[in-house]
Structure 1
Amino acid sequence: MIHATCHTADEAMQSEFDATPWFEEADPASIALLAKRAWSAPWIADALEGRLGYEALRELIRYARDRLEIESREDPSWPTFECRVDSAEATAWLDRHRSDIAADVRRAASSGREEVRG
């Protein structure tokens, strides 16, 4: 299991969930970008919110869209929610299940490169 947490920008809601299904399906470039962004990105929640068992996450995103997006119309780049993946669990999972991506992510991190094979 790869633990992840999301919270709304106003801290009114928080959700913890398993991000493993996203890692199982994500392309190498998306995983590399997530690692480059310190394991924090909203697209993980966007991808999982419709799944069975992710109802709390779905409610958080609905709140962020219905309430906070309205408040942020003046600055559309303002993030209404944030999601963070446990980096140690993500790296360990990648080592076991997608070792080619894990090696590329490590190489990119150690060399400062932004590209990973995809």
Structure 2
Amino acid sequence: MIRATCHTADNVLCIEFDATPWFCEADAPSIVDLAQRGWASTAIAESVEHRRGYERVHDLVEYAATRLQLESLEDPTWQTFECIVDGSEAAAWLEKNRPDVVAGIPRVTGDRWH
């Protein structure tokens, strides 16, 4: 399991979910990009929100889009929610299940990425 945590910008909703399905289906450049962004991207939640068992993710994404949208219109760069993946779990899972992707991720310190 690769844990991900999402929270709305107003901190009304905060959830944890399994991001493994995203890692199974994502192409290598998307995973490398995620690692380079410090394992943070709203795309993960948006890609799994319509799956069975991810109703809470859908509720968070919908809340962020409807309740926080007015504030984001004033500043289009303002993120209505944030999603962060556990980098250690992601790196361990990738080493075991997607070794082809690991080569494209720059290492930082030791044997894990941040």
TM-score by length of 1: 0.88
1:6, 1:83 within 8 Å by CA — same for their partners in 2?
yes
Output one character per residue of 1:53-94: Cα deviation in whole Å (capped at 9) or x when no partner: 001111011100001012221111110000000000000000
Question: What does residue range 1-118 of structure 1 map to in structure 2 within 5 Å?
Answer: 1-105=1-105, 108-110=106-108
1:6, 1:14 within 8 Å by CA — same for their partners in 2?
yes
Which residue identity is paired with 1:12?
Answer: V
Segments ≥4 residues shifted beyond 6 Å: none
Distance in 1 separating the partners of 2:103 and 2:7: 30
Distance in 2 separating the partners of 1:92 and 1:109: 13
What displacement does 1:4 show? 0.4
**What's the secondary structure of 1:72's corresponding residue?**
helix
Paired-residue identity, %: 54
Which residue identity is paired with 1:29?
Answer: P
Which residue identity is paired with 1:77?
Answer: T
Unaligned ranges ≥5, structure 2: 109-114
Report the RMSD for the aligned CA atoms in angstroms: 0.9
What displacement does 1:103 show? 2.3
Unaligned ranges ≥5, structure 1: 111-118
1:2, 1:90 within 8 Å by CA — same for their partners in 2?
yes
TM-score by length of 2: 0.91
What displacement does 1:15 show? 1.0
Distance in 1 separating the partners of 2:70 and 2:76: 10
Q: How many residues align?
A: 108
Distance in 1 separating the partners of 2:80 and 2:5: 14
**What's the secondary structure of 2:59's corresponding residue?**
helix
Distance in 2 separating the partners of 1:15 and 1:60: 8
